[in-house]
């Protein structure tokens, strides 16, 4: 028999087994509840999901099938969701060491973030986390509140100057996410590694600032879900399709610029710290950014196992830059969205802010920003509940596991969705999908998070190390903006949807009207 015929028959037979026989007759995941796609379609529900808003099909399936379900995707591979609080605690907390990030996700993230906290696993993650924890201690993060307020004030002043140039009483319209990305980038530059992006004041930026700022935005624009799927299923097309070739080259060039700039910043911080350690009186006092604190801790440590390598420090910088900036700017954007849709809630917030900051030029106090018993805090949490910046996270089982009585074989990738969990009536009541900050008044965040039902920053040993940083930055900026301005919904803003990349952003852009608060 012809070898080619045998080879073709073997490939066809394997494909038939992989796409039809195993999924429909042998895979133990077929026993999980969930929607059933047509047997003849190798696409499963992929097309339907790609055409829908992120997590909306999964939200509907959770309501129909319960907190644990599975559906078939491309080539009839099963996608499993675990959304019960007990299941979430099992995967993320009590048995976290039995799960890792899927390899494709880890590879995608490592290209951007390097081998930092978000990417690494096992003992390497434990070591990095232990070294990084002191840098993110409460006192250190609280000390950054003036930095958060300063960046917010710089954008506030730009808006005020623009408003003063308009006829009296005239409002203006902003692209919310584009505007919120400016102060959050300045914050991560200053607080993260002592760098001035001048994003809020581009006229004062030098050529290096502009170069790095442009590279950063180019890299962010490349991080779309369609490109992630392309890399996952047909990576070779990135070298074939002209538009993808152009995007890939621009993305790779932008990362080179960012890494080069970060390497220079790291070298500069190391020189400063070495000088300070050699002669403390030779260096004037200055605010300590997170990277400087990390470098200082690194140089002071005598045992190599308790130090980060240069490459690991670089990876943490990249993580600060991308994860620290993007998530907070998106959280600010969605909070403004909800407050424009609920003007009475916005008004109540402003009343609290006026009490705390009688003059619009006053800075919010550390006590106010850190308190968990304010309306500002309730609004921030409610926004993160309904629109967690990262609406889904994935874990792959390293061994056979049983969760809530359901069996998942080794190698199963399990999806956990904060977006869906935060809308489950069994945890949040019949008004789970409504924006109601008052639900938080009198509640302790820790008690809710411990249940596994409030997970915007995940829980367990891989929870976001920068969660306090993000929360205080979010509240500081909301305090500054809503004390001075009123934000009003526009016609364009009524029709925004969500688009998923690394984070879930409004699409099309969220335009809101900005007025001077009465």
Q: What is the pLDDT of residues 238-288, one digit of tens each?
A: 776 777 788 888 888 888 888 888 888 888 888 888 888 777 665 555 557
Q: Distance from CA of residue 411 to its chain's centroid? A: 25
Is 171 in the same domain as 25? no
Is 241 in the same domain as 360? yes
Q: Between the CA of residue 241 and those of 226, 247, 495, what are the distances in Å?
A: 14, 10, 32
Per-residue model confidence (pLDDT) at position 207: 63
Can you say which residues are annotated as belonging to the binding site for heme? 464
Concatenated DSSP letters of 117-139: TTT--HHHHHHHHHHHGGGG-HH
Residue 206 has pLDDT above 80, yes or no: no
Give the confidence band of 302 by pLDDT, cuts at 50, 70, 90. Answer: low
Integer Cα distance of 178 and 123 in angstroms: 39
Among 106-115, 131-140, 312-321, top mean pLDDT goes to: 131-140
Is 414 in the same domain as 434? no
Can you say which residues are annotated as belonging to the binding site? 464
Which pTM was predicted? 0.92
Is 7 in the same domain as 143? no
Is 364 in the same domain as 438? yes
Is 212 in the same domain as 164? yes
Integer Cα distance of 61 and 32 in angstroms: 12
Q: Of 512, 515, 517, 516, which Cα lies nearest the Cα of 177?
A: 512
Is 426 in the same domain as 495? yes
Cis omega (within 30 of 0) for bond into 508: yes
Is 53 in the same domain as 124? no
Two structure tokens written together for 20: 């039809």
Two structure tokens written together for 131: 């070294």
Is 95 in the same domain as 231? no
Two structure tokens written together for 265: 């910043």
Is 242 in the same domain as 208? yes
Domain containing 355 equals 114-389+422-516
Integer Cα distance of 164 and 162 in angstroms: 5
Give the CATH number, domain containing residue 437.
1.10.630.10
Counting the structural domains of the chain, the total is: 2
By mean pLDDT, which of 184-188, 205-209, 402-406 is the weakest?
Answer: 205-209
Pairing between strand 78-82 and 99-100?
unpaired
Is 45 in the same domain as 172? no
Is 273 in the same domain as 175? yes
Integer Cα distance of 99 and 79 in angstroms: 16
194 conformational bin, left if phi > 0, alpha if psi -120 to 50, beta if neither = left
């Amino acid at each position: 028999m012809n070898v080619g015929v045998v080879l073709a028959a073997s490939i066809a037979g394997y494909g038939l087994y992989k796409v039809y026989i195993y999924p429909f007759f042998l895979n133990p995941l077929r026993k999980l509840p969930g929607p059933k796609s047509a047997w003849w379609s190798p696409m499963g529900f992929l097309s339907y999901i790609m055409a829908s808003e992120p997590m909306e099909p999964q939200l509907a399936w959770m309501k129909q099938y319960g907190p644990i379900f599975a559906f078939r995707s491309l080539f009839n591979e099963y996608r499993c969701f675990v959304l019960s609080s007990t299941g979430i605690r099992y995967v993320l907390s009590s048995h976290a060491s039995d799960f890792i990030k899927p390899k494709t996700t880890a590879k995608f993230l490592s290209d951007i973030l390097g081998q930092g906290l978000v990417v690494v696993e096992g003992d390497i993650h434990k070591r990095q986390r232990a070294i990084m924890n002191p840098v993110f201690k409460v006192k250190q993060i609280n000390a950054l509140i003036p930095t958060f307020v300063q960046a917010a004030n710089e954008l506030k002043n730009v808006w005020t100057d623009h408003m003063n140039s308009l006829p009296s009483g005239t409002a203006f319209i902003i692209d919310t996410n584009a505007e919120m990305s400016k102060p959050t980038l300045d914050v991560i530059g200053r607080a993260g590694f002592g760098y001035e992006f001048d994003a809020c004041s581009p006229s004062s930026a030098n050529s290096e600032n502009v170069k790095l700022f442009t590279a950063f935005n180019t890299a962010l624009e490349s991080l779309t879900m369609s490109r992630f799927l392309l890399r996952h299923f047909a990576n070779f097309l990135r070298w074939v399709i002209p538009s993808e070739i152009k995007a890939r080259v621009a993305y790779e060039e932008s990362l080179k610029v960012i890494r080069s700039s970060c390497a220079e910043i790291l070298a500069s911080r190391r020189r400063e710290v070495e000088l300070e350690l050699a002669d403390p009186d030779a260096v004037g006092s200055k605010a300590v950014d997170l990277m400087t604190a990390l470098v200082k801790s690194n140089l002071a440590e005598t045992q190599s196992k308790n130090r980060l390598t240069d490459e690991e420090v670089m990876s943490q910088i990249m993580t600060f830059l991308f994860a620290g900036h993007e998530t907070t700017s998106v959280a600010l954007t969605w909070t403004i969205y909800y407050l424009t849709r609920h003007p009475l809630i916005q008004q109540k917030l402003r009343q609290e802010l006026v009490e705390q900051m009688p003059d619009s030029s006053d800075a919010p106090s550390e006590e106010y920003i850190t308190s968990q018993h304010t309306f500002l805090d309730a609004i921030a949490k409610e926004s993160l509940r309904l629109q967690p910046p990262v609406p889904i996270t994935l874990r792959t089982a390293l061994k056979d596991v049983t969760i809530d009585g359901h069996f998942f074989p080794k190698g199963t990738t399990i999806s956990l969705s904060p977006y869906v969990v935060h809308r489950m009536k069994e945890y949040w009541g019949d008004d789970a999908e409504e924006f109601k900050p008052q639900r938080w008044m009198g509640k302790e965040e820790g008690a809710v998070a411990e249940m596994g039902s409030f997970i915007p920053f995940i829980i367990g040993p891989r929870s976001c190390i920068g969660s306090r940083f993000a929360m205080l930055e979010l509240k500081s900026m909301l305090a500054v903006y809503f004390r001075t301005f009123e934000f009003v919904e526009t016609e364009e803003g009524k029709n925004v949807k969500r688009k998923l990349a690394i984070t879930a952003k409004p699409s099309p852009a969220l335009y809101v009207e900005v007025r001077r608060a009465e």
